[in-house]
Amino acid sequence: MKLCGHSVSPFVERVLIALDMKGVPDAVALSDVPGGFKSEEHLGFHPLGKIPFLLLDDGRSLSESQAIADYLDAVAGGETLAPSDPFEAGKVNRIIRVMDIYYSNAIGPMGRMAFGGSATEDELNDAKERALPEAMRYLDHCLEGSEFAVGDGWTMADACIMSHLYWFERLMPQFGAADLSDYPKVDAYWENAQASDVYKASKARADKSVAKFFASMK
């Protein structure tokens, strides 16, 4: 199996973090996008020209990071990242939605600016003063105040949070937005997460991918 994309994307990195958490980091190979980014071949696998997508050995493909991560959790062996209790599983899915919908939309203007796009002053101000604080307060509400996002072990919620907050750490100093001290459970969680071997491996991958990406833009 091949995971197509680069760790500069938190959605690609989420899948790799999940595999690390499961103890099966070599279950898939990380690959460049066939044909090049937004090529006709790429669009054949993902009509929106996004990453990641998974290529199976039998020729089938699967897009959308959480769908890919859930599929690999089911077939790749190792520790499961899905709680068996339906309510606990619901809490995991809630955190994923908070990060993928509210947080991602909130940080979007900063992300566009960082990658050479544009955002208006009104968009940036709204992100910093309303949208991002709202998303982070919601995440703070969802966390349990322990080492893990839900329960007493790694879940998909942790993979999602780690991949997204890597970019919080990179982007916020540039834009003067509030730090995590305003969200005590998030702050404590993030301090623990950053000390984990899983996050250290993720950060090393992402740092290398980001450096390569920006070098290619010069």
pLDDT in tens, 96-150: 999 999 999 999 999 999 888 999 999 999 999 999 999 999 999 999 999 999 9
Measure the CA dihedral 209/210/211/213, to 10°: 90
Domain boundaries, the chain: 2-75, 86-217
Say what the pLDDT of residue 213 is: 86
Tens digits of per-residue pLDDT, 174-193?
888 778 999 999 999 999 99
Question: What HEC string does 109-167 produce?
Answer: HHHHHHCCCCCCHHHHHHHHHHHHHHHHHHHHHHCCCCCCCCCCCCCHHHHHHHHHHHH
**Residue 142, token pair as written in the block:** 């969802």
At 6-33, the pLDDT tens digits run: 999 999 999 999 999 999 999 999 999 9
Considering the chain, what percentage of its residues have pLDDT values greater than 90? 91
CA distance 159 to 137: 19
Query: What per-residue confidence (pLDDT) applies to 115?
Result: 85
DSSP state of 39: -
- Can you give the pLDDT at residue 120? 96
Does position 215 have pLDDT exceeding 90, yes or no?
no
Are 192 and 180 in contact, with CB atoms under 8 Å apart?
A: no
**Alpha carbon distance 158, 73 (integer Å):** 14
Class in CATH terms, 2-75: alpha beta
Distance in angstroms (rounded) separating the CA atoms of residues 98 and 17: 18
Say what the pTM is. Answer: 0.95
| pLDDT in the model for residue 214 | 83
Q: Quick one: pLDDT at residue 157?
A: 98
Helix (H) or strand (E) holding 2: strand 2-4
The class of domain 86-217 in CATH terms is: mainly alpha
pLDDT digits (tens, 9 = 90+) for 164-174: 999 999 988 88
